[in-house]
A = this chain, B = another copy of it.
Amino acid sequence: MPKLIDPIERKQSIAQATWNIILQQGIEGVSARNIAKEASLSLGALRYYFSSQEELMLYAEALVFERLTDKTNEIFQEDQPPLEKIIGVLLAFLPVNDESATEAEVRLIFKLHRRQSRMTYSEVQDVALQAVKNIISNLILLNLLKKGLDVSLETDRLIHLLDGMVLDAMVRPERYNKEQQRIMIVRHLNAICKEDVDC
């Protein structure tokens, strides 16, 4: 009797195969043939799960967002001091290890791809932007953010830092280990937090 395959698991493994292709060859490497090969499926089986490449790409993008959302929710629930959680959430978007590198890089490539394929970009669906907004409002709530800062500007500055770090780590991976990325995040938080707060 053949092994029963959970269709959700199968869809997720196809999405992960798509991430691999994107990381190895860029969006331009995405084709039904390449993905089927990477996922060890026939073209027919691939089409059974995703009727079009567009549908697959949307699913693969949504799965990155879901993984990152789950990860940040988990970190928020850990038994740690608030600032440690905030550092942890920011690190979740960075390539600190192989797994997070995949998610971080694929998120960035999808962000850019939305612009190039003229798909709608929605702030609400931008998981990194939402996390950064959340962090800045938490810093305010905890009374940690320096007085007089422009909140909207600081939100943007932090998301730029995060996106720029991912991009730079992609071209200069030898420069960034987890410790280096943590130092950068802590440096930035110290710069926007009150002077007596030390991350």
**Chain A residues packing against B (C-beta within 8 Å):** 23-28, 108-109, 111-117, 121, 123, 150, 153, 156-157, 159-165, 167-168, 170-172, 175, 183-184, 187-188, 191
Contact = CB atoms under 8 A, between A and B. Distances in A.
Contacts of A159: 164, 168
8 contacts: A26-B27, A26-B116, A111-B171, A112-B112, A157-B184, A157-B187, A160-B163, A162-B164
Main secondary structure of the interface of A (DSSP, over half): helix
A157 B188 contact: yes
A45 to B, nearest CB: 25
Contacts of A165: 160
Report the 8 A-B pairs with minimum CB-CB distance, sorted nearest first.
A160-B164, A28-B28, A164-B164, A26-B116, A163-B164, A115-B170, A121-B171, A115-B171
Given A121-B172, A150-B187, 17 more contacts: A25-B116, A26-B28, A26-B117, A109-B112, A111-B171, A112-B170, A153-B183, A156-B168, A156-B184, A157-B184, A157-B188, A159-B164, A159-B168, A160-B167, A160-B168, A163-B164, A163-B168
B167 A111 contact: yes
A150 to B, nearest CB: 7
Contacts of A25: 116
Nearest to A160: B164
Residue picked from A23, A164, A170, most chain B C-beta under 10 Å: A164
B184 A153 contact: yes
A26 B113 contact: yes
